[in-house]
Amino acid sequence: MKWFIFTFFLMTLVPGLTATDNGFEPPTYGLPIPETAWQVRQDPERDLFDAAFLVHYTSFENQHNRHYRLIRILSEQGKAAAEFLHDSETLSAVKGRVLYPDGTELGFDSTADFVEILTYRSRRKKVKATILIPPGLTTDCLVEMEWFEAADLGLKKDTFFKRFDIRDDYYCLSKTFDMGVKDVPEGKTLAWVTQKPKEPITLALQNSRTKTPTFTFNNIPPRKSHPFGNPNQAPNAHSFIVYRTLPFTASTFLRGKPVPDWNGDYVVSFPTDIQLIARMITYHFDNPDTNKAMRVFSKEVKHMLTKEAGVDLKKEPIRAAKLTLTALHERISVSNRLNAEQLIMFRNKKEKKPSNLKPCFRNGWADPFQINLIFVWLLRELNIQFQFVYANPVTSPPYKASEKTPFSFDWRMPLIMVKEPQQRAMFCAWRPEFEPGMLPSELQGTAALAVNPYRRFFHVDTDTPHFGATANQLETHVDAELNENGSCRLRLTQTGTGVNKSRMVRALHHLREEEQGPFLRRHWKRRLGNNVELLDAQATPIKDLKDAVTLTVDAQIDHDEAQNWFEIDPFPGLFVNLPQPKMWPADRTQPIVLDYAFVQTETMTLRVPSGWTLKGKHHRHRENRVGTVTFEANQEGNVIRVQRTLTLTDNRLEAEAEPDLRFFLAWAREANLQTIAVAKGDAQ
């Protein structure tokens, strides 16, 4: 009842946003703002803090989209709600005004109010966006804004779909999506998929005066950001997906005439047929532009498998696929994973993205899509059956089968799954730093869609494999010797597997061999700090992403020789790479997502002079469902051995595990700071 009263009260302040006998009326810019707008105040019961969107309106039109916002600013932090970020190329017009309690206002529509910044940059691409910071913002004001953006049938050019989050960073009274696209070319339209919201959010479905549907979500609490979380995975996460439908002529014979419909818990218009989408999007994989070099390579791979490796292609398809991908990576590099020499040649090429596969074998590299295409073609040539698997990274909105739309996927970049009667393997061909069959951590353990190209693109919900902690090990050994004069010479040796190995290799792979040593010395000088003298840092030469890497660091620590005891950091420059959040908001509902599970083991062998002993007892073992942390030290004769082990058992945890995670992070921080003391004789 409280929510209903609150909604009725606030709807009286929305200028023009009403439902009449003639249909839904969109908001109109520049009308007088009702006095009730000023009565909106901070309300902890409804998570209304700092600012509130009183009206959040988006209309999708044929050639442009209209956006309207009415925002109540309540604090210094709330001013950020009025900051406006937009693509410089599509923004066509903007105007706004800041209103004050005394009745005065300040308008803005000049380019002087815009700040252009570089929001994204790679070695091949720069993207600029425009930030509008309204002038004259105070801690007690209203902001009204309207702007237009260029669109093609309601979406940005070359964009097939867009997902809108219902929740924002601030409380929102009303968020409306007006499907105003009309008079479009025959056989196309703009469609939508949205979830029926959970309380306290309500949804009103109406028709506008032009008979186009509008969706208005009311009483929307702000989304919450939690450490190691993804708001899109929260149980109360809501989305509104807008997408272009396929031409009727292409789909009618497969699914009949599309009919807008309420379907279960979701509003569906022109329901998407996944089989049709898969067939149309993956046709590239059916008919690649092959050439003589590819056909010769295919024969070489088949000879290697059957004659040299002795693989039975029918009984061992997974092994065959792994060896095939390894051979492909040895022959063709991925363009965003090139070594130093390849980078020089790549930058000198005028055509960075060739239109066909012919240059790939000539140049020695292919882009991520092309390497995946070649891998699929090789599997077909070897008569190894496979399936396409589509999955989103854990940091992106998850795939939800009940949404009945596949548009959250990148359809150009599927994983490739090969199955045997008792096992399966998935391959990420465009990430050559991982062993074939190993997936990047962000694609592990996620909901996915498997599409079978051999059964008319029959699809089934599945998930990706989740590799445990033992797949990502980082082992470090410190060999040290303490002299009577207080100097301690040490050598650190480090190796890794899985994600740890890939990070070690990628840090060096793009550098020439003579550049790798200086890079490592600069890196380790920063890590060791001012109290440790770096003598040298080297790694085994890295030329290929699959090369094993061993890191060696030589250093020296000088203590005051007048002392009879020394405090020693057994693992200088080593730490657990886990953030230590300072804020932990209450009422967490979203799952915990850490980068990857791992086992990090560090050992030290310290030789001390005769008569020197280890002081104190060092045996700590902490364990919960998140992981374990141990620290042990003991002495045998003149040798002190120290071991620190941290195991993150699982990087995907339910929300209820947050208290255990906080304990684990505290234990890890304690282990990072742990030192040992050695003393001469009975010195204390």
User: How large is the average pLDDT for residues 344-366?
Assistant: 75
Confidence of residue 396 (pLDDT cuts 50, 70, 90): confident
With a pLDDT cut of 70, the percent of the chain lying above it is: 83
Cα–Cα distance measured from residue 473 to residue 475, given in angstroms and rounded to the nearest whole number: 6
Question: Is the pLDDT at 639 greater than 60, yes or no?
Answer: yes
Question: Is the pLDDT at 131 greater than 70, yes or no?
Answer: yes
Confidence of residue 473 (pLDDT cuts 50, 70, 90): very high
Residue 31's Cβ-count burial label (10 Å; 0-12, 13-18, 19+) is: exposed
Question: Is the pLDDT at 7 greater than 90, yes or no?
Answer: no
With a pLDDT cut of 90, the percent of the chain lying above it is: 51
Confidence of residue 443 (pLDDT cuts 50, 70, 90): very high
3-state SS string for 126-158: EEEEEEECCCCCCCCEEEEEEEEEECECCECCC
- Among 332-346, 599-613, 633-647, the least confident range: 332-346
User: How large is the average pLDDT for residues 37-66?
Assistant: 92
User: How large is the average pLDDT for residues 47-70?
Assistant: 92
Q: What is the pLDDT of residue 579?
A: 87
User: How large is the average pLDDT for residues 267-279?
Assistant: 54
Roughly how many angstroms between the first and final C-alpha of the chain, as a whole number? 70
Greater pLDDT, 111 or 605? 605
Greater pLDDT, 281 or 307? 307
Sign of torsion over alpha carbons 363, 366, 371, 373: negative
Q: For residue 194, give Cα distances in angstroms to 66, 237, 265.
A: 20, 11, 9
CB 366 within 8 A of CB 375: no
Q: What is the pLDDT of residue 466?
A: 92
User: How large is the average pLDDT for residues 587-602?
Assistant: 93
Q: What is the pLDDT of residue 577?
A: 77
Torsion of CA 434, 435, 437, 440, to 10 degrees: -10
Confidence of residue 253 (pLDDT cuts 50, 70, 90): very low
Contacts of 288 (CB under 8 A, 6+ apart): 357, 373, 374, 377
Question: Is the pLDDT at 436 greater than 50, yes or no?
Answer: yes
pLDDT tens digits, one per residue of 484-499: 888 899 999 999 999 9
Q: What is the pLDDT of residue 513?
A: 87
23-25/18-20 β-pairing? antiparallel
Residues written for the chain: 684
Contacts of 349 (CB under 8 A, 6+ apart): 363
The residues that bridge with 129 in the sheet, in sequence order, are 87, 117
Question: Is the pLDDT at 21 greater than 50, yes or no?
Answer: no
Token pair listed for 251? 């789909």
pLDDT, the chain, mean: 84
Question: Is the pLDDT at 249 greater than 80, yes or no?
Answer: no
3-state secondary structure of 291: coil
Confidence of residue 259 (pLDDT cuts 50, 70, 90): very low
Residue type, 556: Q
Q: What is the pLDDT of residue 119?
A: 57
Q: What is the pLDDT of residue 406?
A: 65
Q: Which domains does the chain have, with CATH numbers?
A: 2-12+46-223 (2.60.40.3140), 292-467 (3.10.620), 470-680 (2.60.120.1130)
Q: What is the pLDDT of residue 352?
A: 52
pLDDT tens digits, one per residue of 183-226: 555 555 677 778 788 888 999 888 765 567 889 999 999 988 89
Question: Is the pLDDT at 329 greater than 60, yes or no?
Answer: yes
Run of H or E including 323 = helix 317-331
- Among 244-248, 274-278, 494-498, 650-654, the least confident range: 244-248
| CA neighbours closer than 13 Å in the CB half-sphere of residue 230 | 19
Confidence of residue 341 (pLDDT cuts 50, 70, 90): confident
Closest-CA residue to 446 (of 369, 373, 390, 505): 390
CB 593 within 8 A of CB 652: yes
Q: What is the pLDDT of residue 83?
A: 85
Cα–Cα distance measured from residue 155 to residue 557, given in angstroms and rounded to the nearest whole number: 62
Greater pLDDT, 12 or 282? 282
Cα–Cα distance measured from residue 457 to residue 123, given in angstroms and rounded to the nearest whole number: 37
Q: What is the pLDDT of residue 5?
A: 37
User: How large is the average pLDDT for residues 353-369?
Assistant: 80
pLDDT tens digits, one per residue of 503-516: 999 899 888 888 99
